[in-house]
Structure 1
Amino acid sequence: MQTIENINNTIKENMAVMVYFSAPSCNVCHALKPKLLDALNANFPDFKVESVDISQSEEIAPHFNVFAIPTILIYLDGKEFFRKSRNMSVDEVIREIRRPYEIMTS
């Protein structure tokens, strides 16, 4: 089971982290997640992904100011860099991450 402490440790210990908030009842969440994971793996091999099921870990989403699903939070070098909720495309997410990620890994 996920905890706020586990997620914060992942963010601290890894250069690039995506935290993915979803719930079992969210069809969009289930359709989007594999596409996002495939795109991250193909473009950014150093990304670490944490998945949060808000139905199991109810205190985590409010801690990160997440009030809609799906929501992704992108952390680069321990700082929140990008946040997107509900309507998002995989291409949009990849586009937002590419330049800062390449600068950090070059």
Structure 2
Amino acid sequence: MSTQQKTFNELISGDEPVLVDFFATWCGPCQMMQPILMDTAKQVGDKVKIIKVDVDKNQLAASNFQVRGVPTLILFQRGKVLWRQSGVVPAHQLVNVINENLLKVV
């Protein structure tokens, strides 16, 4: 197992919720997600960690979670998928998804 993969697994397996944006540099909709993710991060603060995973550089991680299209967003906590959606997701919807799932877990 590569160090990079182990680090990814460690990140998504912790108590802290992690929103993963599986993206590709050549993907137009993925580029649209960047400001949305920044806005989401401002709104949710430290409730969730947001990370970006380039599917071309991290094919194993993308394959492990059956990421077929980009962008694909997956919310993890303790290694479990709480929510996932492909395509551009507006910031207000991401904030709602994060808040709803945090309430379920607590």
Which TM-score tier does this pair reach, normalised by the shorter chain? 0.7 to 0.9
Q: 1:78 to 1:60 in 2, by over 3 A?
A: closer
- Give SS of 1:20's match: strand
Aligned length in residues: 105
Give the % identical residues.
23
Listed as ranges, the matches of 1:29-44 within 5 Å are 29-44=30-45
User: Structure 1 92/59 Cα, relative in aligned 2: closer, same or farther at 3 Å?
Assistant: same
2:43 and 2:95 in contact (8 A); partners too: no
Report Cα offsets for 1:61-88 as digits up to 9, x if no partner: 1111111000111013432100010142
Q: Give SS of 1:51's match.
A: strand
For 2:81, the equivalent position in structure 1 comes to 80
The Cα RMSD (Å) is 2.3
Report the TM-score, using the length of structure 1 for normalisation: 0.81
In structure 2, the residue matched to 1:50 is 51
- The letter of the residue matching 1:17 is V
* Letter matched to residue 48 of structure 1: K
- Write out the 4+ residue segments of structure 1 that deviate beyond 6 Å after TM superposition: none
Q: Larger % of helix: which? A: 2
> What TM-score does the superposition give when structure 2 sets the normalisation length?
0.81
Say which SS state the counterpart of residue 3 (structure 1) adopts. helix
**Structure 1 unmatched ranges of 5 or more:** none
